[in-house]
Amino acid sequence: MEEVDLLPKNTFFNINKKKRDRIIDESIKEFKKHHYEKASVNKIIANSNIAKGSFYQYFKNKKDLFEYIIDLIRKEKLTYVTDKIRNPRKYSFFDVISDMYKITLIFAKEHPDLQAISNKLVQDRDHKIYQQILAENREVALSEYKKLIELGIERKELDANINTYIVAHLIYSLNREIVDFYSSNTNFTKEEVLNDYLYTLKNGIGI
Amino acid sequence: MEEVDLLPKNTFFNINKKKRDRIIDESIKEFKKHHYEKASVNKIIANSNIAKGSFYQYFKNKKDLFEYIIDLIRKEKLTYVTDKIRNPRKYSFFDVISDMYKITLIFAKEHPDLQAISNKLVQDRDHKIYQQILAENREVALSEYKKLIELGIERKELDANINTYIVAHLIYSLNREIVDFYSSNTNFTKEEVLNDYLYTLKNGIGI
Amino acid sequence: MEEVDLLPKNTFFNINKKKRDRIIDESIKEFKKHHYEKASVNKIIANSNIAKGSFYQYFKNKKDLFEYIIDLIRKEKLTYVTDKIRNPRKYSFFDVISDMYKITLIFAKEHPDLQAISNKLVQDRDHKIYQQILAENREVALSEYKKLIELGIERKELDANINTYIVAHLIYSLNREIVDFYSSNTNFTKEEVLNDYLYTLKNGIGI
Amino acid sequence: MEEVDLLPKNTFFNINKKKRDRIIDESIKEFKKHHYEKASVNKIIANSNIAKGSFYQYFKNKKDLFEYIIDLIRKEKLTYVTDKIRNPRKYSFFDVISDMYKITLIFAKEHPDLQAISNKLVQDRDHKIYQQILAENREVALSEYKKLIELGIERKELDANINTYIVAHLIYSLNREIVDFYSSNTNFTKEEVLNDYLYTLKNGIGI
DNA sequence: GATGAATGAGCGTTCATTCAT
DNA sequence: AATGAATGAACGCTCATTCAT
């Protein structure tokens, strides 16, 4: 019995894997191409070669499907998590952050479609559905960053004069900025991007 | 004789101001609420209390309206531009950047709706219509930032070890990040946000 | 005072010739491109650079304009009429028919747009507007042909065994057939087309 | 399992025959009344008493429907084809042509609506959609006629002096002319029309 | 569990014409 | 006489979802 999270109905996990994968793939394609609202269930169904009725036996509605896809992405991202990220307090601040940004870059490289959907999600902070899905995660991440920053200050790794709340936001948004830069500037290696951004974050740009 | 930019038809500028403003206001509301694709011309029409046929006498199509609104925003933003921004070479790097971020914050405060539309636009870098409208501006801005950074290094204002290309992107994206933060954290004053972000940008967070 | 035929209003003939011609040209273009129903008054107005209200001061409605254009064509065709056609009884049957077909070919060559509109008209025998405009002309022409044929038989120019009613129709429809052929087979000269069709009409194709 | 031709979707053949026939009938009515461009899908839908969404589950779009109707006509016409038409080389030229014209007349009598649509199609040689559908057929027919005529000359059935290319066009267009005449002159029997036209075609009208 | 027919609201857009100025 | 703003019906088409089989 697969863990279901209440999201898609059991029926979805009973059908054969090939069909299931086809649905997932076409959904990813569609949500990558269009925002949630504009993404077309009709097209996903048509391209997946499944019956319309079937779709609604697997998923309650469009939102259900979308949440499932987002969940897939989240789960896939989890497989990239390293020990440094899982146990950040055991490592130096910049080691942790560096690892975090690095796996984001790797993930973006290996799953550009998922990353694209993920980006759309983060951007659309106003939108109802995005709020429902993301708001909580964001808050958790931000507060976790804040704690790490405070720990970093305690450990004399970080400048005590910074605004921990604001820097937490900066750390959070830099994640997206870095992957964004990496995705659209193919002449930079992962390491270059990572090093240069981290250098700037650590030392600032002033003299 | 109003300057027309070829965008909406002359007819739009001939109707009475009240009606025109109603259309503009309702358009802004709609484009704030929804992405371009999902924004509904029908709803704008209904809420503006104009006939369907009339709308299409003012604007060629939905895209025409959208571009007009974007242009309005651009023009409104221009009224905020200061001498420091117009002649950045006459001032120190951080003075210029500080001014730039500041007017963005002021604009966001005074025109939250326009800012919201603007944000949607920046975010949606993949989308065709956004590319048409924004792509060029972005490139110009990035290259201008890069030159300013190089000038800053020459003048010993900035650390010579930074990657000017990447920092240009950072400066660019920080603009949005800051206004984003400011808009959603109402317990911070403009000056606090500005100071803390700039402090971090200048000095970094490392010890 | 121009002869008006009740068709367009006098106002149309009071405006300056350049504007009038522009309206006529654009109307011809539009009616050439589309059937009456699909032809767009809006587009004619836009392309003529006249005010919408003006159009409806010149013409009662779309139909009025169309009838005017058709009338123009009819009048233009009249300028091609030769003495043989005006006084057919004074000439041999085939001389008359040959002349008739010939001026149709010349007209088609010199006014392909008008010919195209004319063709649409003839084809659309079912359509209400076409009936109103053409039905009478057609009847007159057919009965005239019939009389000419009977005269030809009397004069021993034509075979007495033919069905005069049917041959009248044939003569009538051959007019269109010949011009049609001529317009789409540019590798034939007017004379070749004319000679070959007339030869066949006169002698038949049997041995 | 019905043969599908890829034209309308399978779904159309799965709905009950009564409804299907209603849609077909109303489509025929509408396409008979109006040219393709002006024919209204909305009206077909309303008169067929089906939901708008349903229509677009049966047909990809208006063009799809139209092509289906045209195909129906083509298929219906095929049921009239005789051995003489199928194997024209086994028969004398005039036998073949006579048969061809005859079945056209019969078809027109039995399916006046289909004939009307067919006529509109043939007439509208400029129009894009008509070209797509008809252009090829016409070329094939014309070239086939030409060969038959040449065969007729060889066999001494036909006058060697005729222009085979032009006569092929004449044969082709006479088909329409004859049915046209027959449809609008109800006081002639099929046989009269046929005989008189063929007599003229064979012997010409000259003495 | 699978199917796909049915639905009607909604989309962006064009239309011919009227009428007040 | 000239203008162009106003109109609302109609267009072809897509949508997410329901439900009977």
pLDDT, position D3:
37
Chain C residue closest in CA terms to D197: C166
Q: Cβ contact (<8 Å) for C162 and D196? A: yes
Q: What angle do CA B165, B169, B172 make, to 5 degrees?
A: 140
Cα-based distances in Å from A170 to A2, C38, C93, D115? 37, 59, 97, 74
Does at least one atom of strand F sit less than 7 Å from the CB of C72? no
Contact, B205 vs A160, CB < 8 A? Answer: no
Chain D residue closest in CA terms to C35: D35
Q: Is pLDDT above 70 for B1?
A: no
In the stretch 20-39 of chain D, residues with CB closer than 8 A to chain C read 34-35, 37-38
Q: For the residues A66-77, what does the mean pLDDT come to? A: 93
Q: Cβ contact (<8 Å) for B197 and A156? A: no
pLDDT band, residue D6 (cuts 50/70/90): low
Q: Which domains does chain C have, with CATH numbers?
A: 10-66 (1.10.10.60), 80-203 (1.10.357)
Contact, B116 vs B39, CB < 8 A? Answer: no
Report helix, strand or coil for B135.
helix
> What would the pLDDT profile of B43-84 be if each residue is shown by its tens digit?
999 999 999 999 999 999 999 999 999 999 999 999 999 999
Distance F21 C1' – B62 CA (angstroms): 43
pLDDT band, residue D4 (cuts 50/70/90): very low
Is C79 touching D (CB cutoff 8 A)? no
CA–CA min distance A36, chain B (Å)? 10
Q: For the residues B103-113, what does the mean pLDDT come to? A: 96
Q: Is pLDDT above 80 for B125?
A: no
pLDDT, position B102:
97
Percent of chain D with pLDDT over 90: 79
Is B156 touching A (CB cutoff 8 A)? yes
Of C180, C192, C205, the CB nearest to D167: C205
Q: Partners of C158 in the beta sheet?
A: D206
pLDDT, position B6:
52
Report helix, strand or coil for D206.
strand
Within A49-91, residue ranges assigned H as helices are: 52-58, 62-78, 83-86
> What would the pLDDT profile of D137-183 be if each residue is shown by its tens digit?
889 999 999 999 999 999 999 999 999 999 999 999 999 999 999 99
> What would the pLDDT profile of A95-129 be if each residue is shown by its tens digit?
999 999 999 999 999 999 999 999 888 877 777 88
Q: Within 7 A of a protein CB, which nucleotides of strand E?
A: 1-20
pLDDT, position A4:
43
Distance E3 C1' – D60 CA (angstroms): 20
Residue nearest to nucleotide E6 (CA to C1'): D54
Cα separation, A24 vs A117, in Å, equals 13
What HEC string does chain C produce? Answer: CCCCCCCCCHHHHHCCHHHHHHHHHHHHHHHHHCCCCCCCHHHHHHHHCCCHHHHHHHCCCHHHHHHHHHHHHHHHHHCCCCHHHHCHHHCCHHHHHHHHHHHHHHHHHHCHHHHHHHHHHHHCCCCHHHHHHHHHHHHHHHHHHHHHHHHHHHCCCECCCCCHHHHHHHHHHHHHHHHHHHHHCCCCCHHHHHHHHHHHHHHCCEC
| Touching, B vs A (3+ Cβ pairs under 8 A) | yes
Q: For the residues A60-81, what does the mean pLDDT come to? A: 94
Backbone φ and ψ for C189, nearest 5 degrees, come out as: -80, 160
Is D163 touching C (CB cutoff 8 A)? yes
Indicate if the alpha-carbon torsion angle B74, B138, B158, A162 is positive or negative: positive
> Which is more confidently placed, B111 or B128?
B111
Q: Which two tokens stand for residue A36?
A: 């949630």
Cα separation, C75 vs A201, in Å, equals 84
pLDDT, position A81:
95
Does at least one atom of strand F sit less than 7 Å from the CB of D75? no
Contact list, B149 vs chain A (CB under 8 Å): 205
Q: With b meaning 16 or more CB within 10 Å and e meaning fewer, what string describes A131-167? A: eebbeeeeeebeeebbebbeebbeeebbbeebbbbbb
Of D123, D170, D207, the CB nearest to C123: D123
> Which is more confidently placed, D131 or A21?
A21
- Token look-up 């008809």 returns D134
Distance E16 C1' – A12 CA (angstroms): 53
Residue nearest to nucleotide F10 (CA to C1'): D42
CA–CA min distance A3, chain B (Å)? 34
Is A204 touching B (CB cutoff 8 A)? yes
Is A151 touching B (CB cutoff 8 A)? no
pLDDT, position D59:
94
Report helix, strand or coil for D110.
helix
pLDDT, position A16:
85
Does at least one atom of strand E sit less than 7 Å from the CB of C61? yes
Q: Which of D96, D155, D166 is the best residue to mutate to test the C interface, defined by the most C CB atoms within 10 Å of its own CB?
A: D166
- Which stretches in chain C have pLDDT values below 50? 1-5
Q: For the residues A45-66, what does the mean pLDDT come to? A: 92
pLDDT, position D7:
63
Terminal-residue alpha carbon distance, chain B: 60
Q: Which two tokens stand for residue D195?
A: 């005989």
Of B35, B162, B196, the CB nearest to A205: B162
Residue A88 DSSP label: G
Q: Cβ contact (<8 Å) for B204 and A200? A: yes
Q: Which of C31, C162, C166 is the best residue to mutate to test the D interface, defined by the most D CB atoms within 10 Å of its own CB?
A: C166
Contact list, B29 vs chain A (CB under 8 Å): none
User: Over chain D, what is the mean pLDDT?
Assistant: 91
Cα-based distances in Å from C41 to A17, C36, C64, D39? 58, 10, 11, 19
pLDDT band, residue A130 (cuts 50/70/90): confident
Out of B4-13, B135-144, D154-163, give the one with best mean pLDDT: D154-163
Contact list, B196 vs chain A (CB under 8 Å): 162-163, 166
Q: Cβ contact (<8 Å) for D158 and C205? A: yes
Contact, C21 vs C32, CB < 8 A? Answer: no
Which positions 43-62 on chain D have a beta carbon less than 7 angstroms from any atom of strand E?
50-54, 57
Of B159, B161, B203, the CB nearest to A159: B203
Does at least one atom of strand F sit less than 7 Å from the CB of B195? no
Is A53 touching B (CB cutoff 8 A)? no
pLDDT band, residue D135 (cuts 50/70/90): confident
Min mean pLDDT across A77-81, C87-91, C160-164, D118-122 is at D118-122
Is A159 touching B (CB cutoff 8 A)? yes
Chain D residue closest in CA terms to C194: D166
DSSP states along D43-108:
HHHHHHT--HHHHHHH-SSHHHHHHHHHHHHHHHHHTT--HHHHSGGGS-HHHHHHHHHHHHHHHH
Q: Is pLDDT above 80 for D5?
A: no
Of A161, A162, A205, the CB nearest to B159: A205
CA–CA min distance C118, chain D (Å)? 12
Where does chain A show beta strands of DSSP type E? none
Report helix, strand or coil for B206.
strand
Tell which phi-psi region holds residue D49, choosing left (phi > 0), alpha (psi between -120 and 50) or beta.
left
Contact list, C202 vs chain D (CB under 8 Å): 204-206
pLDDT, position D131:
81
